[in-house]
């Protein structure tokens, strides 16, 4: 017997998922997520330290967030 599977993948756009959105979806504090990214503990995004500053920028691509956390939200083009 042959079993056929159909897999529908989402249309990833590479959008940067905001930390606040991820925090709301996971029920975690945004600062907890930011520190985890800064320390390399979490793999759903990247933390970039600004030059000559103590501040960071964050990039969490939608596909990576989905792969690591199972969260995806479609954003309609405006």
Q: What is the mean pLDDT of residues 60-72?
A: 94
**41: in domain:** yes
**37: in domain:** yes
pLDDT tens for residues 3-62?
A: 888 777 778 899 999 999 999 999 999 999 999 999 999 999 999 999 999 999 999 999
Q: Give the range of the structural domain holding residue 59, as residue numbers without chain letter.
A: 19-69
Decide: helix, strand or coil at residue 69.
helix
Per-residue confidence at 65, pLDDT binned at 50, 70, 90?
A: very high
**42: in domain:** yes
Task: Say what the pLDDT of residue 77 is.
Answer: 60
Task: Say what the pLDDT of residue 73 is.
Answer: 87
Burial classification of residue 17, based on how many CB atoms lie within 10 Å of its CB (0-12 exposed, 13-18 middle, 19 or more buried): buried
**5: in domain:** no
**30: in domain:** yes
Q: How many domains does the chain have?
A: 1
**32: in domain:** yes
């Amino acid at each position: 017997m042959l079993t056929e599977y159909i897999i529908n993948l989402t249309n990833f756009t590479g959008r940067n998922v905001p930390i606040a959105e991820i925090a709301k979806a996971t029920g975690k504090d945004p600062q907890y997520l930011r520190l985890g990214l800064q320390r390399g503990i979490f793999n759903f995004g990247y933390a970039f330290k600004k030059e000559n500053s103590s501040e960071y920028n964050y990039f969490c691509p939608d596909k990576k967030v989905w792969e690591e956390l199972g969260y995806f939200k479609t954003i309609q083009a405006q």
